[in-house]
Amino acid sequence: MLSRIVVFASGTGSNYKKIKESIDNKKINGKIVLLISNNPNCEAVKFSRLNNIDYEIINDYRYKDEKNKNNQYQLVLKTYKTDLILLAGFMKKIPDNIIKIYKNKIMNIHPSLLPEYGGKGYYGSNVHNAVIKNRNKFTGATVHFVDENYDKGPIVMQKKIKINSLDTSESISKKVLKIEHEIYSKAVEAFCSKKIIINESKVIINE
């Protein structure tokens, strides 16, 4: 049975595209059934159209009332019989009602070695600039489950890379994105193959 995956994305959706590629190459026992976005003009929506993947736009313009917007998330996810939610550059906080219903079924990729450089305001170049400012020798990426607090959920997988003295925010971004693509697909594969066990907020992956 294929796991039914819903992706949330607001921008280019590069991780979304890589996971779709891994699915097409039979590396993940899942199917992307829907994209949810707050940005109707983003690359992720265009990619969905090109690949005949359903998409739903949920944003403040369409749903001015917060409660109605949160209920729409819940309705759409239920309609698509969602097994796993993947955040791929989604620039909005996931509502608490969705986190509660899909506990340990929402994954996110973060461009640092959590718990370092996590929390509100730490995204994209903000993370990489902080790494450079603090003269860290290593950085990396983290896949984690999403809970009510930014970047605090159980860590599923991490990979680190070395930083050299010539690195800039842009060069670090490229290196980190490369390993994001690698470990996010691996984490999704583990979930879809039912290899993940959570024991007291600690993630164990059975090989």
The string of pLDDT tens digits covering residues 59-111 is 999 999 999 999 999 999 999 999 999 999 998 889 999 999 999 999 999 99
CATH of range 3-205; options 3.40.50.170, 3.40.50.20, 3.60.110.10, 3.40.50.2300? 3.40.50.170
Cα dihedral 79/180/105/49 (nearest 10): 0
Domain range summary for the chain, segments of one domain joined by +: 3-205
Look up the pTM and report it: 0.95
Using CB atoms within 10 A of its CB, is residue 101 exposed (0-12), middle (13-18) or buried (19+)?
middle
Q: How confident is the model at residue 47 (pLDDT cuts 50, 70, 90)?
A: very high
- The C-alpha atoms of residue 59 and residue 57 are separated, in whole angstroms, by 6
Catalytic residues: 110
